[in-house]
Structure 1
């Protein structure tokens, strides 16, 4: 989703009303009254059967969970707070968090060139900084030109370190060289994760475990799908058909994490703790994008009135869509994970729903 689309998130569905079975705990009902379950229905009722949405709501620092599933053209509430989904590009916030730890430890500077840390030279000696990878100002394209996508259901599978090296040494071409224009790039953040792993001499998935998942007790989160023994929700294609999980391989830093709303709520709560200074660094403005939107390191920063900000990122893969919004000032957050394909025509309903529910937490 382009950041400019944030400005269009005032759309409300006019679909026919049908009551959701709100079989959830009393505490959740306090922050999710009937009017909000109606809102959820209006966004979900165009999704295919067997689509699940898992929600985490954080209000004033307190966490609540809710889940729905579309079954036989009805929507019922389910308990899926522990169910695991691909989180797609929300991964980019975690990659930027690893970057922030290296900066905090004085191992690198945001304006350092990654060229000095890579085991191969860039074509034409093009220089790329760490910050430009994290805020999408590097000028790199969204995907590398030598990504063949032999399997559209698993497009990054087979894109390994050798292919990455071949692209940057032989085919590298920047779309923009000003360093001021933010152009979303999976390649850029994938390269960032790859470079961080080289600096730390550790696999990207292990760095996530050591630096973020274990300290925050995110026991169900991983960038290695083989570690998941149970609880993985099957991804669905645009028509609701079961589809392949994505193997991001060398570009895992752009979208390789799998998690659940319980774990992501722990990551959100950590953002509210001022002692986590590396997390605070990711939320600092690095570049202005459009109107009321800036970019930090990974996060999109939505400037709201009066003098408040939301930090946001969404995600999408062939079988999943997600959105995560946090409000540091009020200690509120909405997290949505789903097995709705990013290629479904109404995928934007996930983003719209996360923003509208965030507004409801302010009421």
Structure 2
């Protein structure tokens, strides 16, 4: 996730890849797991403490790890590690919202004002669709929060934030664009509002609805929404943040995740995320017409629909999914549309550099051979 790596504070991120024509998916002619391991090692060498990946393709399932689970140790990264998946949470939240649309309990063109009166200025012009596809123009509340290595950042480590508090920080700033629906501008604020709308429609929190509608039915036993709990249950690598200008790292594995909310709080594994995207793209969670809405770009030239992004590999394969940044953890989960080929990568950055290029090289190898 670029915003956190570049700003060292953002808990979730956007995908901004230029659109390209759909191409036939291409699986590797033969499994080259040795080369995949080498590419994963290169990700760690480029600037990660540890990393793990799960690849599912015609040759079966391959899981690899590299680096260490904890600084100053030789402890290997657990292959079934749990991690904070950041903005990948958005696809879960969007799926629940679209399920409510399928049930006739909510409409994509409902104004925010209808469900959350007075929550945001001009709420009568901003719709559920605008929140989902990042065209609301609402300022991203994460940009208002202090960044490491400032002491203010560390002071917020255990703070419980409410959505109302965070939205208020956002709307204290002018819109990033006008009118709503005209411009793509990634905003975590929209997903906080979507979480509140889910609660208004169902009478239950977005976390309860994700658990009830997705996690339990898909038997994603290692996936959870922690709420206010600072812990990551089960095996996991440690995560770090820089606390000095020289890049000295502080263990920040435990923290209050309410700052990420409906746009970024989920904890999961590579296996569970591959399972989720397979179910989504195979229409087990949404009917085809709403999945089509999910994969329709918000704005011409963008590759982001309703909580779902896509990109094209160097071999012309279009892959669908999302990436995520939860500050101390970064992740990428992508699948071909037929779900015959899936890759989920997670890592703990050391903030020496932007890891996008190294991860893209790994994804290209995994999808293209």
Which TM-score tier does this pair reach, normalised by the shorter chain? 0.7 to 0.9
| Structure 2: distance between partners of 1:33 and 1:276 | 32
Equivalent residue number for residue 234 of structure 1:
238
Equivalent residue number for residue 247 of structure 1:
256
| Structure 2: distance between partners of 1:128 and 1:232 | 39
| Structure 1: distance between partners of 2:330 and 2:286 | 29
- How far off its partner does 1:216 sit? 0.6
- How far off its partner does 1:355 sit? 2.7
Equivalent residue number for residue 177 of structure 1:
178
- List per-residue Cα deviations over 1:14-70 (Å, max 9, x = no partner): xxxxxxxxxxxxxxxx7343233222222221335xx22121111149433222224
Between 31-40 and 204-213, the greater mean CA deviation after superposition: 31-40
Contact 2:132 2:306 (C-alpha < 8 Å) held by counterparts: yes
- How far off its partner does 1:164 sit? 4.2
Equivalent residue number for residue 263 of structure 1:
272
Give the total of aligned pairs: 333
Query: Aligned-pair RMSD on alpha carbons?
Result: 3.5
Partner SS for 2:299: strand
Higher relative contact order (CA 8 A, sep 6+): 2
Structure 1 gaps of 5+ residues are 8-29
Equivalent residue number for residue 196 of structure 1:
198
| Structure 2: distance between partners of 1:70 and 1:269 | 29
Equivalent residue number for residue 299 of structure 2:
288
- How far off its partner does 1:322 sit? 0.8
Contact 2:78 2:236 (C-alpha < 8 Å) held by counterparts: no
Equivalent residue number for residue 299 of structure 1:
308
| Structure 1: distance between partners of 2:88 and 2:47 | 22
- How far off its partner does 1:76 sit? 8.9
Equivalent residue number for residue 312 of structure 1:
321
- How far off its partner does 1:246 sit? 4.4
- Does 2:42 align with 1:34? no
Equivalent residue number for residue 10 of structure 1:
none
TM-score under structure 1 length normalisation: 0.78
Report 1:33-52 matches (<5 A): 33-47=33-47, 51-52=49-50
Partner SS for 2:219: coil
TM-score under structure 2 length normalisation: 0.77
Contact 2:282 2:338 (C-alpha < 8 Å) held by counterparts: no
Between 146-155 and 321-330, the greater mean CA deviation after superposition: 146-155
Partner SS for 1:322: strand
